[in-house]
Structure 1
């Protein structure tokens, strides 16, 4: 496998990719914190601390909205660096991403998890989403080759979902 493509990521595409990555990265927090706040709110209500209980319940409702807002804000700050003409070179050893501002080269072995979605391939180092490839940047044959390559990595021990 050896593909070289040039494309320009769209701002909404970058936001969706990293939004999906961060949602997966923060999945446990997104569920656990509101659940804990609801349980604490119920305990406060049973003990008669109605004001504190209401605050806990409100926090459980507001937290997911605030987290989504924070994710979007972080991604928006990065758009100027990410939404520029980009050249990707993918080989069986790794991938290289080049723009006028930066060059990043990573071996596939760096990624502990590669998540396949209908729109992207999301790359994780540890639990952190570090990169993505948009499917739209590749033709159908290249997409099929990448899907096969990532599936082979899964069978060799790298987690790909």
Structure 2
């Protein structure tokens, strides 16, 4: 495998990729934090601290709606840096991404996990989202080659549905 492609990601693609990666990265927190707030709220209600208990219960109900908004807001801050004409050079060993503002390269062996979605390959190092490649930048044949090369780093358990 050795090919080079030119593409310019759209703001929606960048936000979508970053949001999906962050959601996957903090999946446990998305469930545990509201549950913790709810349990703490009930405990404070049982202890007679009604105001604090009700506040924690309200927070437990609001947090699931605020967190996705907060993730989108954080992702939108990256748009100006990533929505530029970019050249991707992909080989059996890794990939290089070059733009006017940024050049990065990574070997496939760096990644502890790759989450393949219908739109992206999301890259993780020790459960930290580190990057993505958009499928739309590649031909179907190139996508198949990348899927085959990255398959050892993906599994059905780790896949992330769209």
- Which SS does the other structure have where 1:23 is aligned? helix
Answer whether contact 1:25 1:127 (CA < 8 A) is retained.
yes
Q: Which residue of 2 aligns with 1:141?
A: 141
Aligned length: 158
Whether 1:125 and 2:131 are equivalent positions in the alignment is no
Q: TM-score, normalised by structure 1?
A: 0.92
Q: Which runs of 5+ in 1 are unaligned?
A: none
CA separation in 2, counterparts of 1:29 and 1:43? 20
Whether 1:70 and 2:65 are equivalent positions in the alignment is no
CA separation in 2, counterparts of 1:48 and 1:78? 45
Question: Displacement, 1:79?
Answer: 0.7
Residues 153 and 127 (structure 1), Cα distance of their counterparts in 2 relative to 1, 3 Å cut: closer
Q: TM-score, normalised by structure 2?
A: 0.91
Q: Which runs of 5+ in 2 are unaligned?
A: none
RMSD: 1.7
For 1:1-161, list aligned pairs within 5 A: 1-153=1-153, 161=159
Which consecutive aligned stretches of 4+ in structure 1 deviate over 6 angstroms post-superposition? none
